[in-house]
Structure 1
């Protein structure tokens, strides 16, 4: 293919979309990611983190295109292909709709809106592997790709469960139908949850290519710094967020939504804070429960000990992790959260509810602990235990535990699979 992307737009506007080959090597594999997000925007979440990592670590023999949304239609206008760089990776980007604030729930579900708009685009992609990270876009897709690969992030049963913020929970049978039709269109289905993969393998026993896929972290961003660097990071981060330099910090990072259960995090912290006067809670993220959280904090009379940091870039999140003492997770459900890898890579132990793969991602009692009950008292006691024994040896153990999940290592198997199914140039 050389430097020319094989995608040929026939609807809604004809012509061939631009592509570049300024990475030197001859491009032999064309990859198209289809997901409603803007890589240069502010969307936070595990799926978006994984896609960004995939783009950042694209091999030399691959060329990435992305059909997504735009948060800045002046720079990235709707309906127009743009040649852009994501870090050092050249990307051909086509936003098909505008999303002013991707971290707030719109009246019309984003995935429904995006999938219906995607339906209008009939692209001829005879030499392209299309990567989908939700079932809805694949179900609606009219893209004639060489092959489709579907990622399901977490246990799919939770999508229609009681703690899901996704509206599919109101029509579970319809979701299962869409899921089944999407799986029929995929040559591989990767599930980011062992239990979820086992469930899917049993439910769709006639399909052989459903398997577990682990998450990974970017070691260039999330790492345990040397002492001199850590001292500088701590000083700068405390000044940046106007934090108390004598405090110990508990970090909660994620979307402020029902799945992440941030109210339980506040209740857990309140119980711990009643026993130790120097601990403070850092909240990194945003979401629809922000107002309820503010009311809860006021009720607990902890306004001076809880800090909203807003949504953070990966680099800023890594710095906040490095100055924190414990990561607190109170989710109702998870898959294999990248956040746990990132925290441990920065030397931060994890205290969490027992959900998803977290139990297998930590060394219990050393790099973290899971708590079976959704009980603030039980979580607070474990939290206090880790606060009181934070040391350099523990940080080193955390970093070692994360090391096998470096993103280059994790993505290696994915790209090998892609090379096997990619059509000959």
Structure 2
């Protein structure tokens, strides 16, 4: 029988957002029906902290222990969320240990994994979503850009002490496999085929417009998307840009839209549910990705699953999905290069792509958990 999973991460399973870590946790719950999953996380509501409770995530019931209370969407934060969460882990360590017998502990940030080990929760299965060089670089929106040496020290400790490393970045996985031979899984993200799929044959809506999906943070480089929209207008190319997501750079993006006179050509949609994101992708002629860096990009695979072409910066396509020009193209993080790629691939047909069917969540999630089991057993 497969071991139960305890996810330790500062998220709320009843308020998941369509983004990297939240999507991974949601889909481990939804697409591993043979696994009992519990979550140690946070809440922004008035439910009691430090008390296990039964909650629903989709159509599954799980055990949930909130250990800290804060709104992770808050733009101003005096104390980093990771520190507040780790303090909660320490305060409620006895309650956490009560759920750990025979379980795999899954952590998604290095600092959380090391705290789990220090507090006696056992060696975790450590998920890594981005390359160390990206997280600590100038274009990172993580606090680690100010503490690169500490991050690398944590990484060295993780390599020594984890049960397994699950790395959602192919090149980073190659590096870490050398440091942790036999304990590293090179993972790729997936899509939910019940949500992300082409429009039905009975729908006659013409795919139109450009969509951008991501947090309005430095990593995703939303200001470059605004510059591309301006370049397309200057070329006489008529396409509306819808930007899905929210974040601390929203005021900067709003000012850039106003400064470049793009209020009639760019819409800030805000954060949407996964179903809302899928609806936008299904109706759009093209997804534009402008990221400074990515791990294994979820938005890209979800767009392809919806039959929507993608134009992305080279750094956005870490899975090399766009080497096949029938899916779209990559370009340097350059306004003119991206604008040219958009005009070339906009509203061109994308053929049914059987190659991405292996990335459907009902296949990909159990496969990943089996790869982890092969290491930790």
User: In structure 1, what is the equivalent of residue 343 of structure 2?
Assistant: 384
Cα RMSD, aligned residues only: 2.2
Residues in 1 aligned to 2:323 and 2:69: alpha-carbon distance in whole angstroms: 43
Residues in 2 aligned to 1:103 and 1:220: alpha-carbon distance in whole angstroms: 31
User: In structure 2, what is the equivalent of residue 413 of structure 1?
Assistant: 367
More displaced stretch, 345-354 vs 270-279: 270-279
Cα 1:359–1:103 change in 2 (3 A) is farther
Structure 2: stretches of 5+ with no match in the other structure: none
User: In structure 2, what is the equivalent of residue 293 of structure 1?
Assistant: 253
User: In structure 2, what is the equivalent of residue 117 of structure 1?
Assistant: 88
Residues in 2 aligned to 1:374 and 1:420: alpha-carbon distance in whole angstroms: 39
More displaced stretch, 116-125 vs 346-355: 116-125
User: In structure 1, what is the equivalent of residue 219 of structure 2?
Assistant: 259
CA contact (8 A) 1:126 1:145 kept: no
- Structure label with greater radius of gyration: 1
CA contact (8 A) 2:183 2:375 kept: no
User: In structure 1, what is the equivalent of residue 113 of structure 2?
Assistant: 138
Matches within 5 A, 1:178-327: 178-202=154-178, 204-205=179-180, 207-228=181-202, 230-231=203-204, 234=205, 248-276=208-236, 278-327=238-287
For the residue of structure 1 that corresponds to 2:40, the secondary structure is: strand
Q: TM-score by structure 1 length?
A: 0.82
| Superimposed CA distance per residue, residues 254-308 of structure 1 (whole angstroms, 9 cap, x where no aligned partner) | 0001110000011011111233453100010000110011110011111011111
Matches within 5 A, 1:325-340: 325-340=285-300
The Cα of 1:30 is off from its aligned counterpart by: 1.4
Residues in 2 aligned to 1:326 and 1:358: alpha-carbon distance in whole angstroms: 19
Residues in 2 aligned to 1:337 and 1:355: alpha-carbon distance in whole angstroms: 10
Cα 1:356–1:261 change in 2 (3 A) is closer
User: In structure 1, what is the equivalent of residue 55 of structure 2?
Assistant: 84
Residues in 1 aligned to 2:157 and 2:345: alpha-carbon distance in whole angstroms: 46
Cα 1:63–1:87 change in 2 (3 A) is same
Matches within 5 A, 1:140-159: 140-141=115-116, 142=118, 144-145=120-121, 148-159=124-135
Aligned partner of 2:64 among 85, 93, 108? 93
For the residue of structure 2 that corresponds to 1:221, the secondary structure is: coil
The reply on whether 1:68 has 2:41 as its aligned counterpart is yes
CA contact (8 A) 1:255 1:285 kept: yes
